[in-house]
Amino acid sequence: MEMANNSITHIGMPSTDFGKTKAFYEQVFGWKCEELVGMNYMLFTVEGGLGGGFNKVNEIISGTGHMAYITVEDILEMLERVKQAGGQMVMPKTALPNDWGFIAQFSDPCGLICGLWSSK
């Protein structure tokens, strides 16, 4: 797949436990995760979307200046799936101004906070 110049092609996020992270993101979002043995890194792929990976860290420090937002069809449904998979809602579904859609935030079982975005 060819990417446009100056676009983000890969995103890295922290994980304290690859097993928990893999189980959570595969269950909730259907991502495919593959650990790169000996590299302390786990790739994830998203069908039709931007992929990335998880860096193995000892601790996740929230509020470090960036957050990934995941496009979903139904935020409320995804927040329920997050809860069932061991995550927690951090911010409920919230309308954005100018009809830009809706956002919410959750934390995964390792404490990483991510956002959800939906047009409806």
Residue 2 within a domain: no
> In CATH, what number is assigned to the domain containing residue 104?
3.10.180.10
Q: How many residues does the chain have?
A: 120
Q: Within a domain: residue 82?
A: yes
Q: How far apart are CA 2 and CA 9, in angstroms?
A: 10
Q: How confident is the model at residue 1 (pLDDT cuts 50, 70, 90)?
A: low
Nearest one of 98, 100, 85 to 114, comparing CA atoms: 85
The pLDDT value given to residue 33: 98
Q: Considering only residues 118 and 4, tell me which one the structure prediction assigns the higher pLDDT.
A: 118
Q: What is the average pLDDT value for the chain, to the nearest integer?
A: 93
Domain for residue 1, yes or no? no
Q: Copy the structure tokens of residue 49.
A: 């979307």
52-56 vs 11-15, strand pairing mode: parallel
User: Which range marks the domain in which residue 108 is found?
Assistant: 11-58+66-118
pLDDT at position 55 is 95
Look at residue 5 and tell me if it is in a domain.
Answer: no
User: Is 40 domain-assigned?
Assistant: yes
Q: How many domains, in total, are found in the chain?
A: 1
Indicate yes or no: pTM above 0.85. Answer: yes
Q: HSE-up of 106 (CA within 13 Å, CB side)?
A: 26
Q: What is the pLDDT of residues 45-104, one digit of tens each?
A: 999 888 999 999 999 987 766 889 999 999 999 999 999 999 999 999 999 999 999 999
More confident residue, 42 or 4: 42
